[in-house]
């Protein structure tokens, strides 16, 4: 997995609440058996007309937001399906950090598996970042994972929380499976005990 350490980039505002996984990547694009190539269809139905031309006033189509790396979004971002194609599409587009007041649980988990940092902040802080993001290219925020700080384009510093284990994995770009396999003895032991006490499983 790609490491996430410190990022300075353009932030785009998407204030709509309940942006669901079907909006992030409609199911017609889930048919690939690869992990890459989904970025072009990120937010497909909001981003393109039926004939494939771009919808001009969609935020990521505006010239100043084409290279967005940070998304500031409305509440309950990523609700709906467990499809990891949603974070794959976000990462493939080039977005590495999403800020909101809350995220759907499975989506939140999936982000960390793909080098994306989801940050939860209180409403008033998200509102502040949303206004900052509205400045377009002039809104280059910095997200520093090590320090757990976002610095706005005005230099205001905002602290955020992140789970220590997940922070460590993102900073180092660690693969979960490899780490879990180091605990194989614990799994073997658990399995032996469980097989004895619940043999029908």
Partner 1 sequence: MSPKTLYDKIWDAHVAHEAEDGTCLLYIDRHLVHEVTSPQAFEGLRMTGRKVRAPEKTIAVPDHNVPTTLDRAKGIENKESRIQVEALDKNAKEFGVHYYPVSDVRQGIVHIVGPEQGWTLPGMTVVCGDSHTATHGAFGALAHGIGTSEVEHVLATQTLIQKKSKNMKVEITGKLNPGVTAKDITLAVIGETGTAGGTGYVIEYTGEAIRSLSMEGRMTVCNMAIEGGARAGLIAPDETTFNYVKGRPHAPKGGQFEQALEYWKTLFTDEGAVFDKTITLKGEDIQPVVTWGTSPEDVLPITGVVPNPEDFEGGKVEAARRSIEYMGLTPGQKLTDIEIDTVFIGSCTNGRIEDFRAVAEVVKGKKIKDGMRAMIVPGSGLVRAQAEEEGLADIFKEAGFEWRLAGCSMCLAMNPDQLSEGERCAATSNRNFEGRQGYKGRTHLVSPAMAAAAALTGKLTDIRDLL
Binding site for partner 1 (CB under 8 A): 15-18, 20, 22-23, 26-28, 30-35, 45, 50, 74-76, 79-84, 87, 102-106, 109-110, 113-114, 123, 163-165, 176-177, 180-181, 183-184, 186-187, 189-191, 194, 198-201
Provide, rounded to whole angstroms, the least separation between the CB of residue 20 and partner 1.
Answer: 5
Instruction: Select 101 or 152, whichever has its Cβ closest to partner 1.
Output: 101
Provide, rounded to whole angstroms, the least separation between the CB of residue 70 and partner 1.
Answer: 19
Instruction: Select 9 or 77, whichever has its Cβ closest to partner 1.
Output: 77
Distance separating alpha carbons of residues 110 and 84, to the nearest angstrom: 6
Distance separating alpha carbons of residues 133 and 12, to the nearest angstrom: 5
Provide, rounded to whole angstroms, the least separation between the CB of residue 81 and partner 1.
Answer: 5
Helix axes 105-112, 85-93, angle to 10 degrees: 50
Contact 118, 58 (CB under 8 A): no
Instruction: Select 34 or 63, whichever has its Cβ closest to partner 1.
Output: 34
Structure tokens, 18: 């309940």
- Backbone phi and psi for residue 67, each to the nearest 5 degrees, phi listed first: -105, 35
Provide, rounded to whole angstroms, the least separation between the CB of residue 104 and partner 1.
Answer: 6
Provide, rounded to whole angstroms, the least separation between the CB of residue 190 and partner 1.
Answer: 4
Instruction: Select 155 or 164, whichever has its Cβ closest to partner 1.
Output: 164
Provide, rounded to whole angstroms, the least separation between the CB of residue 151 and partner 1.
Answer: 25
Instruction: Select 74 or 136, whichever has its Cβ closest to partner 1.
Output: 74
Instruction: Select 2 or 163, whichever has its Cβ closest to partner 1.
Output: 163
Distance separating alpha carbons of residues 44 and 125, to the nearest angstrom: 28
């Amino acid at each position: 997995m790609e490491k996430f350490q410190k990022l300075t980039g353009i932030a785009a505002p998407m204030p709509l609440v309940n942006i669901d996984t079907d909006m992030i990547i409609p199911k017609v694009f889930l048919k690939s058996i690869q992990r890459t190539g989904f970025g072009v269809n990120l937010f497909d139905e909001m981003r393109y007309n039926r004939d494939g031309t771009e919808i001009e006033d969609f935020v990521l189509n505006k010239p100043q937001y084409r290279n967005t790396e940070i998304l500031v979004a409305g509440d309950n971002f990523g609700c709906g399906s467990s499809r990891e194609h949603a974070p794959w599409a976000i990462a493939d587009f080039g977005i590495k950090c999403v800020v909101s007041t809350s995220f759907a649980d499975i989506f939140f988990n999936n982000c960390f598996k793909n080098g994306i940092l989801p940050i939860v902040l209180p409403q008033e802080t998200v509102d502040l970042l949303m206004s900052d993001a509205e400045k377009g290219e002039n809104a280059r925020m910095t997200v520093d994972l090590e320090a757990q700080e976002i610095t706005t384009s005005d230099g205001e510093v905002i602290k955020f929380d992140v789970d220590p284990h997940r922070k460590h994995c993102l900073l180092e770009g660690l693969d979960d499976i490899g780490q879990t396999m180091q605990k194989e003895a614990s799994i073997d032991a658990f399995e032996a005990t469980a097989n004895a006490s619940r043999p029908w499983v």
